[in-house]
């Protein structure tokens, strides 16, 4: 089966299996989403969602983040890991948003990438979930792992993987596609012990034979 047809089948099966697939981070404003996404780097959504209620309660808007004390914010986000860089980036991003974008998170990829701590994955997540802007496909560890196992890409670099997927996935599904893979990765396609026999994609997956050579 050629890749475009295979990808279409993969999407159809995943949409049926995970009709409610969506972002797992809790947020209510674009700034909260930006902060939560920055915190999620090298951390889990569960951990971030435990930390952010107190953060969001204390820092009500972009101006509050811009005025935040670095050491205090570091301690408040400590459990998410890499807290020094994350705190520095959150404060720096808030200041730049105020200085250059009138206090509003920019709604284009070129502009949002100017913010400290924001690469394409974070940019895609914020743009899609905050503004409904479809600029690309967020590639996290689940998306990378599943797209490689399914044979949708041979690349390891997230930006190259994104480019490969953008060629295969219809643009209108770019935002949704990541969450379909993420949900499937969490439920079935584990990094160390994938549950291949129970996988709805196993007939389409070249990695099935690798993990279960005798059937």
Is 140 part of the annotated catalytic residue set? yes
Looking at 70, 102, 131, which one is the last position of a domain?
Answer: 131
- Regarding whether 13 and 35 lie in a shared domain, the answer is no
How many structural domains compose the chain? 2
pLDDT value of residue 214? 57
Is the pLDDT score of 33 beyond 80?
yes
Residue 108 backbone zone (phi > 0: left; psi -120 to 50: alpha; other: beta) = beta
- Regarding whether 100 and 34 lie in a shared domain, the answer is yes
In the set 9, 26, 88, 140, the catalytic residue is 140
- The pTM of the full predicted model, rounded to 2 decimals, is 0.94
The HSE-up count of residue 213 (CA atoms within 13 Å, CB side) is 1
In the set 45, 86, 121, 183, the catalytic residue is 121
The CA distances from residue 186 to 3, 11, 182, 191, in Å, are 24, 17, 6, 9
Is 121 part of the annotated catalytic residue set? yes
DSSP secondary structure code for residue 156 in this structure:
-
Q: What would the pLDDT profile of 133-179 be if each residue is shown by its tens digit?
A: 999 999 999 999 999 999 999 999 999 999 999 999 999 999 999 99
User: What's the CATH code of the domain at 66?
Assistant: 1.10.340.30
Contact 201, 150 (CB under 8 A): yes
Q: What would the pLDDT profile of 111-123 be if each residue is shown by its tens digit?
A: 999 999 999 999 9
Domain of 89, in residue numbers = 30-131
Closest to 107 measured CA to CA, from 30, 23, 170, 37:
30
Contact 33, 195 (CB under 8 A): no
- Regarding whether 123 and 35 lie in a shared domain, the answer is yes
Looking at 131, 151, 169, which one is the last position of a domain?
Answer: 131
What value, to the nearest 5°, has the Cα angle with vertex 133 and ends 127 and 139? 55
Q: What would the pLDDT profile of 61-71 be if each residue is shown by its tens digit?
A: 999 999 999 99
- Regarding whether 50 and 127 lie in a shared domain, the answer is yes
């Amino acid at each position: 089966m050629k890749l475009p047809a295979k990808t279409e089948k993969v999407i159809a099966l995943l949409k049926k299996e995970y009709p409610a697939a969506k972002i797992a981070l809790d947020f209510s404003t674009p700034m909260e989403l930006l902060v939560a996404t920055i915190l999620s780097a090298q951390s889990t959504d569960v951990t971030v969602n435990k930390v952010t209620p107190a953060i969001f309660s204390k820092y009500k808007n972009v101006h509050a983040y811009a005025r935040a004390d670095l050491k205090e914010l570091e301690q408040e986000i400590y459990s998410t890991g890499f807290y020094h860089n994350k705190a520095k980036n959150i404060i720096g991003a808030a200041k730049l948003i105020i200085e250059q974008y009138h206090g509003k998170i920019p709604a284009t990829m070129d502009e949002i990438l100017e913010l400290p701590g924001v690469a394409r994955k974070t940019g895609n997540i914020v743009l899609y979930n905050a503004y409904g802007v479809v600029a690309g496909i967020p590639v996290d560890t689940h998306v990378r792992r599943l797209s490689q196992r399914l044979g949708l890409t041979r690349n390891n670099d997230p930006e190259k993987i994104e480019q490969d997927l953008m060629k295969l996935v219809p643009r209108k599904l770019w935002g949704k596609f990541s969450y379909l893979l993420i949900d499937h990765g969490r439920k079935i396609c584990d990094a160390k012990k994938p549950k291949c026999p129970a996988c709805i994609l196993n007939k389409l997956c070249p990695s099935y034979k690798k993990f279960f050579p005798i059937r």
